[in-house]
Amino acid sequence: MFMIIGAMNNPKEDVVSEIEAIVSAEYDYVELTVEPPMASREIVLERLSEIKSTASSSKRGIIVGHTAWYMPIVIPYDSVRKRALDELVRDFELFNKIGSVEYVVVHTSFSPGYESDDIMELSLIESLERLKREAEERGLRLLIENDPISPFSRYERVIMALDADMCLDLGHAFVVKGLRSGLLLAYRTGKLRHVHAHDNKGKKDEHLPIGAGKIPWDFVIKTLKAIGYNGTITVEDHSQSRDLRAYSGELLRKMWREIEKGNIWELLPVGP
């Protein structure tokens, strides 16, 4: 069993040149995030033929679609929430048009406008139920990603309530001290379908290269292997260094090979 490793485009950079760099780094697939300023829906639609052609040079092409994390799908104004959900559905239609996309990732975004956590969670579950239905109608599988602000226990309740598929963001989980909880939830539910990998120092969501922060990657990779995970892992390094993003993929593969050999070794950090 070997890891299937892809990378996500940085939405602050030209979308086609980002995909070219991901393909050049020999990643297995592309996770396309549709976000302004350089990968908005309008830009992606305008350059769709070029995007698909470039991504097809990777082993699997674009197999994961990623949506903006800040869409207000939990907000005390129903008209605003409905508009946000409508915008996400338009993203789903775009991913369906690409043809190769299997998964679409949405986020547990919470609004500070609610006083009651219970009301927030019910509102989120209602929004995600609609998105799950809309994704399935377009031949896509909805994955719910944990956020870097809320207690991980909240994400766990949402996953259990919806019987939903997980996108476990390791960097986000580490910030809220939920790394072990996330891996345990994946083991208990069997719902882990996709992983996001990027590093940080445990204080904020930095999206650093693998090894540049404090995440215990040897523990993470050993645990993923132990629970039998054989899905996709996307490097989500937004450090704006394409060389370091390529190196992140190499490090993940190296760790996996060493663990398969039964070796225990320390990951040499990229930075402090």
**Hey, what amino acid is at 65?**
G
pLDDT of residue 240: 79
Has this prediction a pTM greater than 0.85?
yes
Taking the C-alpha atoms of residue 32 and residue 10, their distance in angstroms, rounded to an integer, is 9
Nearest to 66 by CA among 11, 128, 133: 11
pLDDT of residue 196: 99
How confident is the model over 67-82, as pLDDT tens digits? 999 999 998 889 999 9
Q: Is the pLDDT of residue 2 over 70?
A: no
Delimit the domains of the chain by residue range.
4-260
Residues 6+ apart with CB under 8 A from 193: 103, 141, 143, 165, 166, 167, 231, 232
Report the DSSP beta bridge partners of residue 192.
166
pLDDT of residue 3: 83
**CATH number attached to the domain at 4-260:** 3.20.20.150
Residues of the chain with pLDDT > 90, as a percent, come to 82
pLDDT of residue 76: 81
Taking the C-alpha atoms of residue 46 and residue 136, their distance in angstroms, rounded to an integer, is 25
Which of 112-126, 142-156, 205-219 shows the lowest per-residue confidence on average (mean pLDDT)?
A: 112-126
